[in-house]
Amino acid sequence: MAPQQAAKPRHRAARPVPPPSEAILDIAFHRASLATPKGQSKPERDRRRAELKIVRAGATTVRHLRLETQRFLRPPLTPFERTLVDERFGAGTLDRALTRVRRAEERIRGLQREAEAGARRLHGPEMLGDAVRAYYGRLSSFVREVDRDLLVLRSVDAFLAERPKVDPARPTLVVAGFPNVGKSSLVGQLSSAQPKVADYPFTTLSIALGHADVGFDRLQVLDTPGVLGRPRRTNPAESEAEAAVRGPATVVVFLIDPTETCGFTLEEQEALLRRWEAELPNTRILPVETKLDLQRRDTDRLQVSSVTGEGIPELRRRVRELVRPTGELPPMEEALEETPPEPMVGEPPARRSRRRSGA
């Protein structure tokens, strides 16, 4: 009988991620090695080659470090993105990493100037070669020192790339509440978003964005993960919801499931509502009860069902009032751009286009 072969592992073990400095230095030294100096004599060409290597290695490294930080600076992060990042990575983590990388850039520029000046005073390929090698060594250690910071920057970048862009200039409706109460179902009813809905808590783990035309306004509608309302939060999904409620919300719909089929008591949900109302006196919070199709209560609060759609038109009306409490209209051009007039039935095409152009 053939000897039994050891079963091959199905998945290869994940390879450790190489430190970012490795690729940056590889590119920098490769570019430096391509230096083709001009010069009348060999000694002149030797010195020119050493100078070019110093300049190219330094400049390429600085350019790559700059690319790592640029994404956070131009354009700068919005206040909401900052809050999200601070909540997830710890306050000040991003700024510390940015500062250290910018400082490394400055140190490398200084090192480069020093090495260039030094090379001008040296003679012979050996001395020049030693000087370039010493420069490469110090340059490498400056970049390696910020490896951890570069990894932080890349993680923050990946985190933000997975989050929707919320325009701070547009009105934003945030739907928040306990897990599993029906937030995503309501966001699906109200907006263009089609979030995942399921009968278990923490189906939604990060914020999601949809849009809804409410009156003259095109609202951003943010679906959020559930919040358990514990005083000390541990769950990153919850922090994300808190950041949305505290950040870009023009109006918060606090969704309550009085049927308690979500798995949480009404009292727990009311306690979170009271806490937010106390902590955020300047935020317009609209409590809304859901699952009206399952249970109808005698209450002054707005009641809706995301299954039958009952109460949704009234909710839209209330949201519209809260977004524009004084009843003012948005600037005329914006309103026209956002809600182009519907053509009248039977209207001839020529007249329609005149109306669109605002004539």
Q: Note the residues at the interface with ligand GTP (CB under 6 A).
A: 179-185, 197-199, 201-204, 225-226, 290-291, 293-294, 305-307
Shortest distance (Å) from residue 224 CB to ligand GTP = 8
Binding at 293: pick from ligand GTP, Mg ion, none (beta carbon under 5-8 Å per type): ligand GTP
Least Å distance, CB 89 to ligand GTP, is 23
C-beta of 226 vs 330, nearer to ligand GTP: 226
Euclidean distance between CA atoms 97 and 262, whole angstroms:
41
Cβ within 8 Å of residue 35, ≥6 positions away: 49, 52, 53, 56
Q: What is the DSSP string of 284-351?
A: EEEEEE--TTT-----SSEE--TTT-TTHHHHHHHHHHHHSTT-PPPPHHHHHHHSPPPPPTT--HHH
Taking the C-alpha atoms of residue 339 and residue 219, their distance in angstroms, rounded to an integer, is 12
Closest CB 262 distance from ligand GTP, rounded Å: 7
The residue number with the shortest CB distance to ligand GTP is 182
**Cα 224 from Cα 207, distance rounded (Å):** 5
Does residue 189 bind Mg ion (CB under 5 A)? no
How far is C-alpha 266 from the chain's CA centre? 33
Residue 76 DSSP class: B
Nearer to ligand GTP, 152 or 190 (CB): 190
Report, in Å, the least distance between residue 245 CB and ligand GTP: 14
Q: How far is the CB of 299 from ligand GTP (least distance, A)?
A: 16
198 binds, among ligand GTP, Mg ion, none (CB under 5 to 8 A by kind): ligand GTP
CB of 295 to ligand GTP, least distance (A): 9
Based on the shown chain and the rule CB under 5 A, indicate whether residue 184 belongs to the binding site for Mg ion.
yes
d(CA 327, CA 126): 80
Residue 111 interacting partner from Mg ion, ligand GTP, none (CB closer than 5 to 8 Å by kind): none
| Owner of token pair 């547009």 | 170
For Mg ion (CB under 5 A), the number of binding residues is: 3
Cβ-count burial 261-295 (b if 16+ within 10 Å, e if not): ebebebeebeebbeebeeeeeeebbbbbbbbbeee
Q: Which residues make beta-bridge pairs with 220?
A: 172, 211
* Partner interacting with residue 23 (select from ligand GTP, Mg ion, none; CB below 5-8 Å by kind): none
Closer to Mg ion at the Cβ: 112 or 191? Answer: 191
Distance of closest approach, residue 337 Cβ to ligand GTP, in angstroms: 32
State the CB neighbour count (10 A cutoff) for residue 172. 22
Measured from the CB atom, the residue of 129 and 164 that comes closer to Mg ion is 164
Among Mg ion, ligand GTP, none, what binds residue 88 when CB lies within 5 to 8 Å by partner kind?
none
- Rounded to an integer, what distance in angstroms lies between the CA atom of residue 39 and that of residue 47? 9
Q: If contact means CB under 5 to 8 A according to the sort of partner, which of ligand GTP, Mg ion, none does residue 199 touch? A: ligand GTP
- DSSP assignment of 99-153 equals HHHHHHHHHHHHHHHHHHHHHHT--SHHHHHHHHHHHHHHHHHHHHTTHHHHHHH
Choose from Mg ion, ligand GTP, none: what does 159 bind? Cβ within 5-8 Å by kind: none
Binding mask 202-221 for Mg ion (x = CB under 5 A): -xx-----------------
Q: How far apart (Å, rounded) are the C-alpha atoms in residues 225 and 179?
A: 7
From ligand GTP, Mg ion, none, interface partner of 73 (C-beta below 5 to 8 A by class): none
Q: Does 295 bind Mg ion (CB under 5 A)?
A: no
Distance CA 255, CA 269 (A): 9
Closest by CA position to 146, among listed 208, 64, 70, 77: 64
Q: Which of 60/184 has CB closer to Mg ion?
A: 184
Q: Out of Mg ion, ligand GTP, none, which partner does residue 185 contact, by CB within 5 to 8 A per kind?
A: ligand GTP
CB of 69 to ligand GTP, least distance (A): 34
- Positions touching Mg ion (CB under 5 A) are 184, 203-204
